Structure 1
């Protein structure tokens, strides 16, 4: 009886040795370095993944969390143990996003994960300001020219389907234009006129930043551009400064008080007498 018990225990040890799986193979993923992008332009992630076992793309799946949503990703085998995870996303808002790349072995349940940061900036626009010299005390008008030819045709977007959302919302700080025009010359130019007294100007400023938006196939995106200026403060000296309507300062002319006609005649007679050698 004792002999049979020993045989059964030995058989159990053999069965356990058969069903216990070997140590799981190591699965890793490298998302790559941090990225920068412009709003409205596609960002493509090319992450590398590695498995110490033979790479089996059939049993692997991948996904990317973009910080604004999660999408499935494609895995392309490179060799027996390496592959590339590929996914593309378009950001519509500025900011810094943490992007997580995940690869899962569906046969073993092992998951590998790595992250990177994507910093998104506004779409750029070419800005010119006239006049270039701005007086802090001016009540004149400043004109901003924004070339939209470049950012209406930026990479990845059909320029024919890209429009300016609302030119009147193009702002310099809290100031918005009081007048808006559009010129088709040179591919398209916005002409925005701002009242200088609406601008928050500081003496010594070297540029003005204009912000606005555009509408693409994917949605609305921010646009920003910087124009060079020179902001001056005329001070409170004797030469008072007044605005002449074109944004430039001019010096006020102080006229001498005109004497009455009698004073003018007496002064002229004294001058004539001295000139002729006679007493006045």
Structure 2
């Protein structure tokens, strides 16, 4: 009869071999997973900064900051800025081993609000970060004088608006001696455009614009009117605006006896007469000074 005593050791050895084989397989599987599953990408962030306000034609500088948990490597990082009017590449200056600064400058010519997006990419890890700020562009301010200062929109005649360009010709300390106005008739008050335009060289340049009173859509009680337009500089057409004081009375038809407010009508007639004389005097003086300068240059 055969004995089974020798089977014990063989069974134990087989079990040990099986356990060892299983351990090797699990270890191999872990190595495979480590190769297949990519490591978590380092966090890349960018801060575009706070919203900005600037005048048309003046440069605005963006100073954005970026941070990467990976060690800063300028060779792997790239930055660009979308100004809403176009995009440009921007350089990144390293601040320390994890932080950098993006600086770029842009000039807006037209008034409005623009969304500016700063984008930073780590070309080694594939990480991308973006942040946006708003830049509000206001028109360059021009000095505006209104004659007469009382407006009855239903009366006949014109209202004269003097727009002085001297104040903003040198904005931002730049030499703007070659600034011109391409089309003075584009200077508007709301939807109203001037019926007649003159240009006087006094004090660097004054536009003399005449608007039909009936075209000026101002509500009773309004304390001012705003003139908007543009002028040509080295960079292009720059938005210009100015505000002049005016008093809008209860509209009548401009004829005595038919206005609901006789006192207002009388005051308006008196004011118009005074302002008309003053307007004519100032215009003659401006022409004389302009002619005097021209004669001096000719000599």
Taking structure 1 as the reference length, the TM-score comes to 0.76
Q: CA deviation at 1:155?
A: 2.5
Equivalent in the alignment of 1:206: 223
Q: Which moved more, 1:212-221 or 1:10-19?
A: 10-19
Q: CA deviation at 1:100?
A: 1.2
CA distance 1:40–1:226, change in 2 (3 Å): same
| Residue pairs, 1:223-238, within 5 angstroms | 223-233=240-250, 235-236=259-260
Residue of structure 2 aligned with 1:30, choices 28, 41, 47: 47
CA distance 1:156–1:118, change in 2 (3 Å): farther
Equivalent in the alignment of 2:157: 140
The answer as to 2:112 corresponding to 1:88 is no
Q: CA deviation at 1:231?
A: 1.7
The answer as to 2:199 corresponding to 1:188 is no
| Residue pairs, 1:259-278, within 5 angstroms | none
Equivalent in the alignment of 2:287: none
- Note if contact 1:152-1:163 (Cα within 8 Å) is conserved in structure 2: no
Residue of structure 2 aligned with 1:162, choices 179, 198, 201: 179
- Note if contact 1:140-1:246 (Cα within 8 Å) is conserved in structure 2: no
Equivalent in the alignment of 1:47: 64
2-structure distance, mates of 1:26, 1:115:
18
- Note if contact 2:249-2:264 (Cα within 8 Å) is conserved in structure 1: no
2-structure distance, mates of 1:240, 1:160:
44
2-structure distance, mates of 1:104, 1:245:
70
The answer as to 2:64 corresponding to 1:67 is no
Q: CA deviation at 1:165?
A: 2.0
Equivalent in the alignment of 1:256: none
CA distance 1:92–1:40, change in 2 (3 Å): same
Contiguous gaps of at least 5 residues in structure 1: 250-280
Q: Relative to total residues, which structure has the larger strand share, 1 or 2?
A: 1
Q: Relative to total residues, which structure has the larger helix share, 1 or 2?
A: 2
User: CA deviation digits over 1:81-134, x for unaligned, max 9?
Assistant: 111111222223333222211101111111111111222222221111122223
CA distance 1:196–1:20, change in 2 (3 Å): closer
The answer as to 2:95 corresponding to 1:78 is yes
The answer as to 2:119 corresponding to 1:102 is yes
Name the SS for the 1:197 alignment partner. Answer: helix
- Note if contact 1:141-1:245 (Cα within 8 Å) is conserved in structure 2: no
Q: CA deviation at 1:209?
A: 1.0
Residue of structure 1 aligned with 2:130, choices 110, 113, 116: 113
CA distance 1:161–1:82, change in 2 (3 Å): farther
Q: CA deviation at 1:6?
A: 7.6
CA distance 1:197–1:247, change in 2 (3 Å): farther
User: CA deviation digits over 1:164-200, x for unaligned, max 9?
Assistant: 1211221112322222222222222212222323322
**What do you get for the CA RMSD once the two structures are aligned?**
3.1
Q: Which moved more, 1:5-14 or 1:214-223?
A: 5-14
Aligned residue pairs, count: 249
Taking structure 2 as the reference length, the TM-score comes to 0.71
